Structures are given as C-alpha cells and as structure tokens.
Amino acid sequence: MRSWWQLRAVLVMALVMGIFLLGLACSGTPEAGQKATAAPAAAAQKPATAVPQQATAAPAAAAAKDAPAYPTKEIEFVTQTGAGGSSDIFMRQVAQMLKTQGIITHPIVFNNKSGGSGAVAMKFLQQERMGDGHSLWTISGAGLLSNVARGVVSLDVFHPVAVMAVEPQAIVASASSKFKSIEDIIAAAKQGRKTVNLAGAAVGGGGHLAGTLLGRTAGVEFNFISFQSGKEALMSVLGGHADFVIESPGEVAELVRSGQMKLLATTGSQKLGIGPDAPTLAEKGFANATYEIARGFLMMKGVKDYEAVYWENAFKKLVDTKEWKDYALKDNIDTKFLAAADCDKFLRSQYDVMLPVIKELGLDKAN
C-alpha cells in the first residue's frame, strides 16, 4: 500500500508540473508571435524612409564636399574695345564694385583686345581662352552680332553667364543745330538720300546699327561718317561736321547737362534720366527701331558648370546692391538681370532683329 500511495503522489506532482509548464508555454507564445510580426514591419518601414533619403542626399553632399576651390588665381576680363570705350568702362566699373562689395577677393586684370570691329577679340577668345574658367568676356552687343554674321564667331562657342543690364542709346545733336526733334531729323532725311549725316565710333558699332535700324523703320537713309572713337564723333557733331550721333547715355550725359548738346530721343523702352522730356522712338511711332545693348558677361565653351554658376551668382549679388543701383541710375542703364538661359535667348533674339540691318550694311561679308 505504501508503494502505491507513493506512486500516486509522484503521478499527481507530475501532472501538476505538466499543467503549470503548459500554462507558461501558452502565455509566452502570443508575445513571441507579436514580436515576430512587429519586427518585420519595423524592418520594412526603416528602409522605406531612411535609406532612400540618405541615398538621395549623399550625392549632393558629396558634390558640395568634392567641388574644387574656385577661383584659384587672378580673373581676366576681356573686351573688344580700347581703353575708354563703353565696354571697357563697364567692365572696370563692375570689377571695382565686385571688390568693394566683397563679392570677389581675387585680383581682376583687364585685357583690351581691340581691332577689326571686334574680330581680334573673337579670334583671341576662340584660340586662347576656350574652356578657361578664369576668363570672362564683356558682352559687346553690336560687335558680337556683326562678327557672328560675318562668320568670325558663333554664338554656340560661348557659355552664357548673365546679362546684368540693358543700355539704351541716346540720339543727340548740337545745341545750336537746326534739328530740334527726332521728327526734324526724319523729315530732313526724306528730302534726299543720305542728306543727313550720322556720326559714329565705328562701322558696325552700336550707333551705326541703331541709326540704320531707325532709317529702315522710318523709310530713310542716313549718311554714316565713321570716327576712331565715340568722343571724336561727338566733337564732330559739336563742330557742325555731322548732324547727330547715337551714343551711350554715359558718353553724352555731361554734354547734355551742360547744355552743349540736346537729347532728341532714346532708342530704349524707357526715357532717360539725363533728359526725361525726350521721347522714346516708340512714342514717336518708331517702335521697331527700339534697340538696347546688352551689358553682361560670357565665358567660353568648355568651362565647368560650377565656374559659370559662380559668376552668375556673383553678378546677381552685385545688381542687388545699392552701389550698383546708384551706378545704373547715374549712367542711365536699366538693370535687367538675365541668368544664363535667358541671357542666351536675349542675345539670339537681338541677332534675329539686327541681321537684316547687318546684311543691308554689308557687314555679313568677311573682310
């Protein structure tokens, strides 16, 4: 009997332990199951949000980190005009303002490649400055367009950077001239072919193209007299050797303010500060003769994108400063910032407008 009861006690204890262990197993299994399902969900969410963001941001961060220092040496500004020409004055003033505003700290040197109505500069740029990220060319509207038409250069060899402003041209005559208005000029020119003398700095220059465009629009033809410089052209008008001249406002401002010359009209879309009473050509019915010269900079093909963007940003910073705004007001240029793509479109549209004029003057033919 004792052995039976002992055996019975052992069986009861085994049964109790089995029930206890089964309870633990059942209560623990759901938790394990929950963890097993939650872990894959968390694993699925983590790559979907964090990994792609890192993959997207990493190249940009790497690009910024790996971009080489720039500029690394002195900067060269090139122009096709000699010292004292409008493009020369513009590039020097821009350089000075970039320095005083702390936008550029590297030295800027100037390279005047004058001659051949801009051909010397165009050939120099193509032969010696292609892909040079430390050389910029000052846009010279008329000279560029004429040389494109002559096949000396193509707009495709340039890497556009920015147009900073457009410069209308001033149509002026001597204060003692019999011509008191632009209508007087047109009326006299209608009396006979080339009976009115237009003075200018160069054949194919801004004044020459603007005058020819006005003549085409008004149905007249002026007699163009070329001089070595804009100042000589102005002196010829003051001396009575020519009837009128079309020049940049900055060149004639003091002569107009002093009363030696009178402003008859402007080729721009807005009136000039030096003579707010003088009309635009559009106001006198010659809207198709509106002509404004682009002021800005180009680089040559082959430069790195970050180099061109650097200068685009630098020029944008400059035109937002008070110093630039004061300069633009003083020199009667209209701030019109055009970034690279719009700069290119603007130059090509100007070429389309001026090509008929260039052909009429025979400037599309190689020398």
Tokens 């590297």 — which residue? 106
Task: Tell me: do 204 and 162 sit in the same domain.
Answer: no
Last residue of a domain, one of 255, 289, 323: 289
User: What span, in angstroms and rounded, lies between the C-alpha atoms of 63 and 61?
Assistant: 5
Helix H segments across the chain?
2-66, 86-100, 119-128, 141-149, 182-189, 206-218, 230-238, 249-257, 305-319, 322-331, 340-360
Residue 360: count other Cβ atoms within 10 Å of its Cβ: 14
What is the token pair recorded at 111?
A: 């390279």
- Closest to 333 measured CA to CA, from 249, 231, 276, 255: 249
Task: Tell me: do 80 and 216 sit in the same domain.
Answer: no
Last residue of a domain, one of 239, 254, 289: 289
Q: Does residue 301 lie in a domain region?
A: yes
Task: Tell me: do 145 and 80 sit in the same domain.
Answer: yes
Mean pLDDT, residues 20-35: 43
Q: Does residue 39 lie in a domain region?
A: no
Q: Does residue 12 lie in a domain region?
A: no
Task: Tell me: do 178 and 254 sit in the same domain.
Answer: yes
User: What span, in angstroms and rounded, lies between the C-alpha atoms of 307 and 301?
Assistant: 12
Q: What is the DSSP string of 171-202?
A: EEEETT-S--SHHHHHHHHTTSTT-SEEEESS
State pLDDT tens for residues 64-85.
455 689 999 999 999 988 887 7
Query: What is the 8-class DSSP label of residue 128?
Result: H
Q: pLDDT-derived band of residue 164, with 50, 70 and 90 as boundaries?
A: very high
Selected residue with higher pLDDT from 280 and 228: 280
User: What span, in angstroms and rounded, lies between the C-alpha atoms of 232 and 235?
Assistant: 5
Classify 299 as helix, strand or coil: strand
Tokens 């801004």 — which residue? 206
Can you give the residue range of the structural domain that contains 198?
A: 170-289
Q: Beta strand pairing status for 244-247 and 75-79? A: unpaired
Region label for 259, one of left (φ > 0), alpha (ψ between -120 and 50) or beta (otherwise): left
- The one-letter amino acid code at 230 reads G
Maximum alpha-carbon separation in the chain:
152
Are 280 and 266 in contact by the 8 Å Cβ rule? The answer is yes
Task: Tell me: do 271 and 340 sit in the same domain.
Answer: no
Are 75 and 106 in contact by the 8 Å Cβ rule? The answer is yes
Q: Does residue 15 lie in a domain region?
A: no
- Closest to 92 measured CA to CA, from 331, 303, 293, 268: 331
Radius of gyration of the chain (CA): 37
Q: What is the pLDDT at residue 119?
A: 87
Mean pLDDT, residues 309-327: 97
pTM of the model: 0.73
Sequence-distant (≥ 6) Cβ neighbours of residue 115 within 8 angstroms? 121
State pLDDT tens for residues 128-143.
999 999 999 999 878 8
Task: Tell me: do 109 and 162 sit in the same domain.
Answer: yes
Question: Is it the case that residue 228 has pLDDT exceeding 50?
Answer: yes
Q: What is the pLDDT at residue 66?
A: 59
Average pLDDT, the chain: 83
Question: Is it the case that residue 96 has pLDDT exceeding 60?
Answer: yes
List the CATH number of the domain containing 297: 3.40.190.150
- Closest to 172 measured CA to CA, from 271, 86, 238: 238
Mean pLDDT, residues 248-256: 90
- The one-letter amino acid code at 336 reads K
Task: Report the C-alpha dihedral over residues 65, 68, 74, 76, rounded to 10 degrees.
Answer: -110
Q: Does residue 319 lie in a domain region?
A: yes
Task: Tell me: do 296 and 162 sit in the same domain.
Answer: yes
Last residue of a domain, one of 289, 305, 329: 289
Peptide bond into 168 cis (omega under 30): no
Task: Tell me: do 162 and 296 sit in the same domain.
Answer: yes
Classify 83 as helix, strand or coil: coil
- Name beta bridge partners: 224: 198
Domain count, the chain: 2
Is the four-CA dihedral 366, 232, 88, 124 of positive or negative sign?
positive
Q: Does residue 114 lie in a domain region?
A: yes
Q: What is the pLDDT at residue 204?
A: 83
Question: Is it the case that residue 287 has pLDDT exceeding 50?
Answer: yes
Residue 184 phi/psi, 5° resolution?
A: -65, -40
List the CATH number of the domain containing 223: 3.40.190.10
Q: Does residue 10 lie in a domain region?
A: no
Q: What is the pLDDT at residue 367?
A: 56
Task: Tell me: do 178 and 277 sit in the same domain.
Answer: yes
Are 143 and 118 in contact by the 8 Å Cβ rule? The answer is yes
CA distance readout (Å), 98 to 77, 79, 244, 360? 13, 17, 36, 40
Task: Tell me: do 184 and 325 sit in the same domain.
Answer: no
Task: Tell me: do 207 and 267 sit in the same domain.
Answer: yes
- The one-letter amino acid code at 10 reads V
Selected residue with higher pLDDT from 300 and 274: 300
Q: What is the pLDDT at residue 144?
A: 87
Are 189 and 179 in contact by the 8 Å Cβ rule? The answer is no
Task: Tell me: do 284 and 301 sit in the same domain.
Answer: no
What is the token pair recorded at 23?
A: 């309870």
Q: Does residue 261 lie in a domain region?
A: yes
Selected residue with higher pLDDT from 86 and 224: 224
Q: Beta strand pairing status for 197-200 and 135-138? A: unpaired
Q: What is the pLDDT at residue 366?
A: 64
